[in-house]
Structure 1
Amino acid sequence: MKKESLYLKIAKVMEEQIASKTLKLGDKLPSIRTVQKLYNVSLTTVKQAYLELESKSLIEPRAKSGYFVSKASMRKFPLPSVTALKTSAQTKDPEDLISKVFNTLTNDQITQFSLGVPDKSLLPIAKLNKGVISVVQRLADGGTSYEPVQGNLNLRRSIAKWSYVLEGTLTEDDIVTTSGAMNAIFNCLMAVTKPGDTVAIESPVYFGILQIIKSLGLKAIEIPTHPITGVDLEAIKKVLPRLNACCFISNFSNPLGCMMPEEHKKELVRMLTEYDIPLIEDDLYGNLFFGATRPKPCKAFDEAGIVMWCGSVSKTLAPGYRVGWVAPGKYKEKIIRQKLLQTISTPTLYQEVIADFLEHGRYDHHLRTIRSKLYTNCLKYQGAIEAYFPHNTKISQPQGGFMLWLELDQKIDTAELYDRALQQNISYAPGRVFSQYNQYNNCMRLNFALGWNTKLENDLKRLGKIVKAAI
């Protein structure tokens, strides 16, 4: 048997044992060495089998204790559907619906399941405030001078040190700072496309990316995306000759929460390198993993410099600081010229605060804390949805990040349902905003990076009642 089929065979046996309750919730799995001897295979094969089970959230690692059957393995609801590839359907951007959702953001009375940022209770605000005071006192000009166009040296150096998933291949000279990840993506698209060009994106896709593409006069091809393994590589192959660029969230996409397996990332980079197609990789959720290790970005497999790796601290640390970056590969000079035209430089103060936070271990500690809370929240949300929503609800199984994607009964239009939910001070993101086409009308995205409490559970219960009443 091939090595690949061996690890999948081992994983399938264990998956069946979990499904049949032979392995129950909380049970410890046999050690990697035990399974190696049992099947007479290599340690690598067993590790791949366990990674396969972990990617499906069936098992979870515990430090120095081994692997255990996870709570997520007990889920009742199936995964959302994968849509077909569309290349000729009429497009219509749901801008009015997006505006309606965003207009609620300043209302403290509304439970913001619609927001794409973590709740302030999950952020180290006091420590960041101390950092601001310290930086202002330390800087001779108080942060009032222009930075170099490429960005703050301390921040670029800290990001390069932090990019350990790239196995030390990045230096501070490879990085350009930006005003958040969206600004990085905008600059990247400006640098490598011209009006009329075609860009491949996920489907469903974060609506901000759709809006950027439209504003630049570009055409988008939505690639079918699996809720666990991400974009369909075969679908990309079909449209490769037509593409001028790709823009994907490889780790914990928004809104599905899926993660491309490492082999898929390698193959995607290989395919795009062959055609010299730039890949704009949005990796701002990469540090919010639920597994044992941070997944590598596509940039880790980029030898030709075609991957433009974008990140920020907006989803983990300080959304309002607007501190982001890009490692643009061979397009660096184009990005620097773009930045000079648009912003001249990014503000010194917040870049220094974030650099200091990254440098002295506080970020690592904070990430461990927030990841634990997010994973717990994810399980609680899934449990509440299984308890309070209709039985034919489909729900995503994110392996990181903080987005849940729900697919409801075909009769339901979540855009119409939104007004009813808002009357009860509940806001969510209707599925229609995550596509340029008239689809995902029976879907919604929920943010689970909120402080869990009785009120939040009751709000999910009320939202479930609203959905049930619409069937």
Structure 2
Amino acid sequence: MSQEFIYHRIARSIEHQIKKQVYKIGDKLPSVREICREKGVSMNTALNAYYYLESKGLIASRPQRGYFVSYSHQKFPELPETSRPIMDEGADETENLIARVFSVLGTDSHVNFSLGVPDISLLPAAKINKSLTRAMRELPNNGIMYDSIQGNQKLRNQIAKGSLSWDGKLSEDDLVTTPGCMGALSLSLMSITKKGDVLVTESPVYFGVLQLAKSLGLQVLELPTHPETGIEIEALQQTINSTKVSACLLVSNFNNPTGSCMPDEHKEAVVKLLEYHHIPLIEDDLYGDVFFGNHRPKSCKSFDQSGNVLWCGSMSKTLVPGYRVGWTAPGRFKEKIISTKLYQSVSSTGIVQEAVGNFLETGRYENHLRKLRSILYSNSILYLKAIGTYFPEGTKVSRPTGGFLIWIQLDPKVDTAHLFQEALKHKISIAPGRMFTLQNQYKNCIRLSYGMPWSERIDESLKVLGMLAKQTLCR
């Protein structure tokens, strides 16, 4: 067992006790020597466990006295309410807001809390570039010619092997590669729906899904969603009973924007419900690899017995956003997907898929993910602590157990579209909640990314956001 795993295990055990109020704010923790004796570990391992907790702001050291609890999960803001979507369309407002937010993305002078990918400093750019060089050297014709329509074989093989971690049991022949996860979702919707069909999804949900569905002429029904457990199954059942639903699209693990993760029993129930009614389920599992627990959460695809689930994923949020490498395991819809892909793109971009396949094959991806998860987990704690300290009283915040997105619900008097404009004056960009719906709702909500390394600048920017939100309330 590695030293890294041991100190993480010790740290999380202590954090669990802090969360359960075994150790309260101000309580002294066991000394480093006591940890060494009780756990049978080295002094260095025990210190690393405390350094890890200290980096998240949960404990603090006092010279000559030891380590003390400095913060508790009990002080985090309350969770946002379960969404109750209203049928009052306002898509034009959504599009305008998205355009305004994207107008400042890529601007280095801004703190981009609105950017839905990890910071470049958290991605292994040099190592993936080596994989790209290897791909150019090893592919036939240096990767210049067309690749298989189904996609790069090495990549599909590595994705299939990785599916064992969530009981996927896929083979490389089950997979079709795509240009990013949005490419997978797009191919799926184009293959199984037609103009006028009804698509059901969570609410709030990633704005790209809403705009894609709208461009295809689909009717979108946004259903009630809990900030921790995802879509409300009873609401889904009622909708199916009263409406002819053609497809369902869910972000099962660490939803964008709320961070919710469907429990396994919910995933299984949804899969069985949709299978019974012959309604295809498009599963966006883009964030599943960025988990903070001991193991990767299962996917809806884990419970698929009939090929009714079109499982979609990508490396865009965890490794190489610009490579646009994604895939789908479309089950019984595989031939339709391949046919649609042929008409849309003729072939796959073999060279970048080979590069990612190489990276996975060497084991570097798992090593990278372990570091990324650790940093993002620490960030999530620090963000929750800062929001609880700086934002107005009554602010409610999601508590993600993976991914890198937080959903904030402010007082109904706060218009976050206006807050967005005020924040821009301070070189801060946020994603207003109104972006994540086609209805007239979530105007007092924000999605923030904690995918940037924690720094004084990040802390100060959150403090400014909190101040601006308080000023809005005072008007």
1:298-345 CA-to-partner distances (Å, cap 9, x unmatched) read: 000000111000000001000000000000000000000010011111
8 Å CA contact 1:71, 1:379 repeated in 2: no
- Choose from 450, 454, 457 the match for 2:456: 454
Determine the structure 2 residue equivalent to 1:92: 91
Shift of 1:104: 0.5
Indicate the residue corresponding to 2:35 in structure 1.
none
Return the alpha-carbon distance in structure 2 between the equivalents of residues 283 and 106 of structure 1.
25
Q: Does 1:106 align with 2:114?
A: no
1:178-207 deviation digits (Å, cap 9, x = unpaired):
000001001101111110000111101100
- Give the distance between the partners of 2:290 and 2:172, measured in 1 at CA: 23
| Structure 1 residue 105, shift from structure 2 partner | 1.0
Match 2:356 to one of 347, 354, 357: 354
Q: Partner amino acid for 1:456?
A: I
Counterpart of 2:73 in structure 1 is 73
Residue 271 of structure 1 pairs with residue 270 of structure 2:
no
Q: Distance between the aligned counterparts of 1:427 and 1:268, measured in 2? A: 36
1:262 aligns with 2:264: yes
User: Quick one: which amino acid aligns to residue 90 of structure 1?
Assistant: E
Task: Indicate how the Cα distance of structure 1 residues 416 and 168 shifts in structure 2: closer, same or farther if over 3 A, else same.
Answer: closer
Inter-partner Cα distance in structure 1 for 2:152 and 2:72: 42
Distance 1:331 1:111, change over 3 A: same
Sequence identity, in percent?
A: 50
Q: In 1, distance between residues paired with 2:210 and 2:227?
A: 19
SS at match of 2:141: coil
Give 1:74 deviation, angstroms.
2.9
Cα contact 1:407–1:444 (8 A) shared by 2: yes
User: Which residue does 1:173 correspond to in 2?
Assistant: 173
Contact 2:76-2:384 within 8 A present in 1 as well? no
> Which moves more between the two structures, 162-171 or 243-252?
162-171
Using the TM superposition, give the Cα deviation of residue 446 of structure 1 relative to its aligned residue in structure 2, in angstroms.
Answer: 0.4
In 2: Cα distance, 1:330 partner to 1:227 partner: 31
In the TM superposition, residue 222 of structure 1 has moved relative to its aligned partner by 0.5
2:184 pairs with 1:184: yes
What's 1:140 paired with? Answer: 140
**Does the 8 Å CA contact 1:199/1:220 hold for their aligned counterparts?**
yes
Q: Classify the secondary structure of the residue corresponding to 1:293.
A: coil
What is residue 218 of structure 2 aligned with on the other side? 218
**Is this contact kept in 1: 2:198–2:247, CA < 8 A?**
yes
152-161 or 137-146, larger mean C-alpha shift: 137-146
For 1:369 and 1:115, the matched residues in 2 are separated by: 20
Q: Is the 8 A contact 1:156 1:176 kept in 2?
A: yes
1:201 counterpart SS class: strand
What does residue 10 of structure 1 align with?
A: none
Distance 1:20 1:125 in 2: 39
2:54 aligns to what?
none
Query: Offset of 1:166 from its aligned partner?
Result: 4.4
**Under a length normalisation based on structure 1, what TM-score does the superposition of the two structures give?**
0.85
Question: Which residue matches 1:21?
Answer: 21
C-alpha spacing 1:139/1:397, structure 2 compared with 1 (3 Å): same
Where structure 1 has 5 or more consecutive residues not aligned to the other structure, the ranges are: 1-16, 29-68
Cα distance in 1 between the residues matched to 2:189 and 2:239: 19
Cross-structure match for 1:54: none
Residue 155 (structure 1) aligns with: 155
Alignment partner, residue 234 of structure 1: 234
- For this pair of structures, how many residues does the alignment match? 416
- RMSD between aligned residues: 2.1
SS in 2 for 1:440: coil
- TM-score normalised to structure 2 length: 0.84
Alpha-carbon spacing, 1:214–1:71, altered in 2? closer, same or farther (3 Å)? farther
SS at match of 2:448: strand
Query: Residues 404 and 450 of structure 2 are in contact (CA less than 8 Å); yes or no, is this contact kept in structure 1?
Result: yes
Deviation at 1:70, TM superposition (A): 12
Aligned to 1:118: 118
Q: Which aligned pairs between 1:328-347 and structure 2 lie closer than 5 A?
A: 328-347=330-349
Return the alpha-carbon distance in structure 1 between the equivalents of residues 76 and 183 of structure 2: 40
